[in-house]
């Protein structure tokens, strides 16, 4: 203890929880629609069949912008492709799934690098920094994409590069903040949302306060939940209680992992290295103060500054791909005409089918037979 806890997957507890959820929804007048904003939640919900079971219990689960690879717009992916195809002596270090995102210029995987350049898949930002130290004659650009979960590690790695004065390391970062994206979704008001299932590990970094405005300003309940099936049902159940009592709040179901104040060391390194920026999200468009970028004094480690990149925002999805609508919770993946036809995990047509955290990928893996709804 407290390692894996089998009760969190226990089937009889799952059924007991579903029973409770069913009796809670039967007392409500409005249909209940809960948005999950984390690809790993989407994964659990589909892997364990909770999507259907919850539907039967009166709760419609809808996926939101929970996949960092997916919400990074094409122009950023294209900028990386340009770097490695047009510049010499460059190593583009990227997490694996980003290399497969298709754009108008192909993907990092299909692009042919300049003769002395290459793409290298890494599992952590530190690995990219080590690569720079091992290859002093090459510029190593780390394609740093992530939500609050990944951002502190990237910030700390840049801090180390700066402290040690590594001259050939920089990051092309796309760092996204969840709470402003949720505000944008609520403000757009395109989809009726009765509650949010907040992401467990983003919350481990930021704590509960950053979600408070959602309950206070928009009256929308929410719960931070873990990633086991019964975690999710406990979270949903807490949201239903908030709806029934008319008292929206931010419930913490995942207390074993999330400190209500978040992780102070992670917050400190983010505050030291990064500053707020407006950012352009796939599907959601430009959202004020929804991204982070390196502070000006770390320009030597910011590929946009160091390599004088001009990335023009607003490039469209490939024609036919409806990833943008999936990310806004407007359609579910099977409603895309390309789903399972021209677009599948082996030949993804859009980013939502590429990433393990992408809704199209997850639906394709677990719910293909449900058909379009």
Partner 1 sequence: MCLGIPAKVTRIDASKQGKVDYLGTKVKVDFSLLEDIRPGDWVIVHAGFAITRLDEEEAQETLSLLREILQAQGE
Positions in the binding site for ligand SF4 (CB under 6 A): 321-323, 326, 333, 336, 338-339, 343, 349-350, 352-353, 360
**Strand 139-146 to 118-121 pairing:** unpaired
Q: Is the dihedral of CA 324, 328, 333, 334 positive or negative?
A: negative
Closest CB 360 distance from ligand SF4, rounded Å: 3
Q: DSSP E strands: which ranges in the chain?
A: 32-36, 59-63, 90-94, 118-121, 139-146, 169-176, 195-198, 222-224, 250-252, 274-281, 285-294
Our CA dihedral for 173, 289, 222, 370, rounded to 10 degrees, sits at -50
Q: Are 222 and 274 in contact (CB under 8 A)?
A: no
- Asked if 230 interacts with partner 1 (CB under 8 A), we say yes
Question: Toward ligand SF4, which CB reaches closer, 208 or 360?
Answer: 360
172 near partner 1, rule: CB under 8 A: no
Options 86-94, 125-133, 277-285, 345-353: segment touching partner 1 (CB under 8 A): 125-133
- How near is the Cβ of 31 to partner 1 at its closest, in Å? 25
**DSSP helix/strand/coil, 277:** strand
Binding mask 39-78 for partner 1 (x = CB under 8 A): xx---x-----------------------x----------
Question: If binding means CB under 8 A, how many residues of this protein chain bind partner 1?
Answer: 55
Partner interacting with residue 201 (select from ligand SF4, partner 1, none; CB below 5-8 Å by kind) = partner 1
Q: Which backbone phi and psi does 353 adopt, to 5 degrees?
A: -100, -10
The residue number with the shortest CB distance to ligand SF4 is 350
- Contact with partner 1 (CB under 8 A): which of 34, 35, 37, 38? 38
Residue choice 36, 139, 228, 367 for contact with partner 1 (CB under 8 A) = 228
Burial class of 269 by CB neighbour count within 10 A (0 to 12, 13 to 18, 19+): buried
Strand, coil or helix: 237:
helix
Question: Can residue 17 be called a binding residue for partner 1 (CB under 8 A)?
Answer: yes
Q: Could you tell which of ligand SF4, partner 1, none binds residue 15, using a CB distance below 5 to 8 A set by kind?
A: partner 1
Do 340 and 364 form a contact (C-beta atoms < 8 A)?
yes
Least CB distance to partner 1 at residue 270 (A): 10
Distance, CA of 283 to CA of 234 (rounded, Å):
30
Give the integer Cα–Cα distance in Å for 235 and 196: 9
204-243 burial by CB neighbour count: b if 16+ within 10 A, else e? bbbbbebbeebbeebebbbbbbbbbbbbbbbbbbbbbbbb
Q: How far apart are CA 83 and CA 117, in angstroms?
A: 9
Establish if 258 lies at the interface with partner 1 (CB under 8 A).
Answer: yes
The distance of closest approach from Cβ of residue 355 to ligand SF4 in the complex, given in angstroms and rounded to an integer, is: 10
Which partner from the list ligand SF4, partner 1, none does 323 bind, CB cut-off 5 to 8 Å by kind? ligand SF4
What residues line the site for partner 1 (CB under 8 A)? 1-5, 7-8, 10, 12-13, 15-17, 19-20, 38-40, 44, 68, 95, 97, 123-127, 146, 149-150, 152-153, 156, 200-201, 204-205, 226-228, 230-231, 234, 253, 255-259, 263, 265-266, 269, 356-357
């Amino acid at each position: 203890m407290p390692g894996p806890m089998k009760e969190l997957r226990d089937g009889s507890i799952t059924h007991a929880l579903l029973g409770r959820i069913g009796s809670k929804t039967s007392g409500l007048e409005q249909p209940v629609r809960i948005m999950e904003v984390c690809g790993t939640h989407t994964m659990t919900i589909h892997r364990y069949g909770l999507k259907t079971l919850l539907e039967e219990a009166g709760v419609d689960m809808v996926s939101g912008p929970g996949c960092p690879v997916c919400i990074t717009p094409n122009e950023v992916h294209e900028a990386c492709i340009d770097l490695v195809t047009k510049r010499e002596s460059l190593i583009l270090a990227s997490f694996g799934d980003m290399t497969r995102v298709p754009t108008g210029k192909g993907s990092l995987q299909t692009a042919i690098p300049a003769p002395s350049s290459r793409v290298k898949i890494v599992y952590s930002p530190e690995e990219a920094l080590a690569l720079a130290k091992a290859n002093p004659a090459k510029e190593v650009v780390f394609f740093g994409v992530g939500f609050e979960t990944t951002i502190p590690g990237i910030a700390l790695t840049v801090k180390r590069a700066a402290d040690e004065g590594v001259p050939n390391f920089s990051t092309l970062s796309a760092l996204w903040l969840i709470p402003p994206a949720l505000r944008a979704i609520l403000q757009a008001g395109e989809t009726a949302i009765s509650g949010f299932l907040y992401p467990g590990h983003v919350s481990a970094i930021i704590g509960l306060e950053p979600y408070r405005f959602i309950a206070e300003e928009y009256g929308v309940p929410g719960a931070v939940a873990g990633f086991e099936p019964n975690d999710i049902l406990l979270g949903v159940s807490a949201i239903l209680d908030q709806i029934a009592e008319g008292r929206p709040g931010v419930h913490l179901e995942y207390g074993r992992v999330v400190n209500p104040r978040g992780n102070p060391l992670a917050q400190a390194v983010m505050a030291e290295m990064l500053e707020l920026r407006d950012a352009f999200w796939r599907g959601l468009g430009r959202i004020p103060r929804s991204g982070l970028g390196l502070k000006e004094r770390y320009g030597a480690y910011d590929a946009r500054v160091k390599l004088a990149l001009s990335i023009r925002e607003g490039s469209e999805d490939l024609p036919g791909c409806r990833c943008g609508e999936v990310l806004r919770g407007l359609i579910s993946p099977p409603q895309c005409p390309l789903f399972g036809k021209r677009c599948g995990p082996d030949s993804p047509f859009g980013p939502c089918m590429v990433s393990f955290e992408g809704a199209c990928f997850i639906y394709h893996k677990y719910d293909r037979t449900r058909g379009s709804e």
